[in-house]
Amino acid sequence: MRIIFAGGGTGGHLYPGLAIARALQTLRPDVQPYFIGAKRGVERDILPTTGFPYALLDLHPLYRRAVWNNWRTLVGLVSAWRGIGRVVREERPAAVVGTGGYASGAALAYAIVHGIPIVEQTGDSVPSLTARLFSRWAREVYLSFPESAHRLRARSPEALVDTGAPIEPPPKQLPDRATARRVWAFPADAIVLLVYGGSQGSQAINAAMRDWIAMGLPRDVHVIWSTGRKNFERFANLESSRVRVRPYLSPIADAYAATDLAIARAGTMTLAELFAWNIPAILIPLPTAAADHQTFNARTLEDAGAAIHLPQSQLSGEKLGRTIEKALGNRATLDALTRAAAARARPGAALEIARHILAVADSGAR
């Protein structure tokens, strides 16, 4: 049974599909996931390493500002339509799973025209244009944020399924934090901050951290700091007995296991992983994210009591320090944030979505 996954452009659209595909094969080894992406997205580098078959098409986004470039979008769509047709003729899929991005839109449209069942996985509290456009035709839509349901036009309320974001789950029994801190040569009773500005790092977060550390870390506070590879040399000299500076954290499980509080961007996959590890966060949304969706994510989670929203426009070493010290200064406050973060955790989301997709695929095959 072939199931096509269509999406990409960014890791937030690709990694959920990969997590679901692996969950599908765990449940049903006969399932053959097939990925469709764009030549100009992150999938170009990542899909060749996964072992899954794939096709990369000459797709382009909608150019909202440089509208004169949308001829590329139209030409690419015609070419992609033919490419998707070749994949479908090779073996008709039982379903097409859209995970967002412009590759997703092309494949979902082709599936609707040719009578192939579609489902969607939405990543943010504000669904993308693609997710909103195709939700009315989707058999089911799997929500990372339950708050996004009212922004979608589904065929029925039952088609909107609150699953959480699909991630590679942590161990069922989370490691003991005191034990995990020994990996970093931190005291068992340390308070550990994880600073993580995404895979590329964040210059704004890095600069604020540098300035805060220069003011003097509060007692018992220790830091695991991922700067991003391009920024590492600028901040590597801040390594100390209480600060671990790394260009990138891969695997990141050892850091998650030791962490009490994170300082992070507000991308959906980062949030899903943090909450699965029962880690609350100070969220500094990327201000240039599409449709400012990270700000909506941060506000949503602050309202739920699982995070603290700190806009980048207000970020400085002093402001970051005050925010951290307020969260850590009252044990009851940190405990409440941790409980709310744990309540948002959905570590089994990928398996839950995989079961739903198999049910849709099997019903279409009958």
pLDDT digits (tens, 9 = 90+) for 68-123: 555 555 555 666 778 899 999 999 999 999 998 777 888 999 999 999 999 999 98
* pLDDT score at 169: 87
| 34 DSSP β-pair partners | 4
Burial of 336 (0-12, 13-18, 19+ CB in 10 A): middle
Do 243 and 111 lie in one domain? The reply is no
Asked if residue 336 and residue 307 are part of one domain, the reply reads: yes
CB 57 within 8 Å of CB 82: no
Cβ contacts of 313 within 8 Å, gap of 6 or more: 287
Quote the DSSP letter at residue 115: T
Give me the pLDDT at residue 234, please. Answer: 94
Cα dihedral 72→77→83→84 (10° resolution): 150
- My answer on whether 158 and 204 are in the same domain is no
CA atoms within 13 A on the CB side of 74: 5
Extract the tokens encoding 114. 């040719």
Question: What's the length of the chain?
Answer: 366
Local structure of 76: helix, strand or coil: helix
Same domain? For 211 and 307 the reply is yes
316 with 195, same domain: the answer is yes
Q: What is the pLDDT of residue 189?
A: 93
Provide the token pair at 329: 């200064």
- What DSSP line would sit under 20-63, residue for residue? HHHHHHHH-TT-EEEEEEETTSTHHHHGGGT---EEEE------
Assess contact for 213 and 181: CB atoms under 8 A. Answer: no
The single residue listed with the structure tokens 């339509």 is 81
Both 213 and 277 in one domain: the answer is: yes
Give the range of the structural domain holding residue 191, as residue numbers without chain letter. Answer: 177-344
What is residue 300's predicted lDDT score, i.e. its pLDDT? 92
Tokens of 52: 């899954």
| 149 and 18 part of one domain | yes
Residues 43 and 156 in one domain: yes
CATH number at residue 321: 3.40.50.2000
Q: Are residues 331 and 199 in the same domain?
A: yes
pLDDT score of 29? 96
Same domain for 361 and 323: no
Residues 126 and 238 in one domain: no
Q: Which helix (H) or strand (E) holds 176?
A: none
**Number of domains the chain is built from:** 2
Q: Could you tell me if 200 and 77 lie in one domain?
A: no
Angle between helix 317-329 and 331-344 (nearest 10): 90
Query: Can you give the pTM of this predicted structure?
Result: 0.83
- Residue 126's pLDDT is what? 81
Residue-by-residue DSSP string for 196-261: E--TT--HHHHHHHHHHHHH-PPTTEEEEEE--GGGHHHHGGG--SSEEEES--SS-HHHHHH-SE
pLDDT < 50 regions, the chain: 366
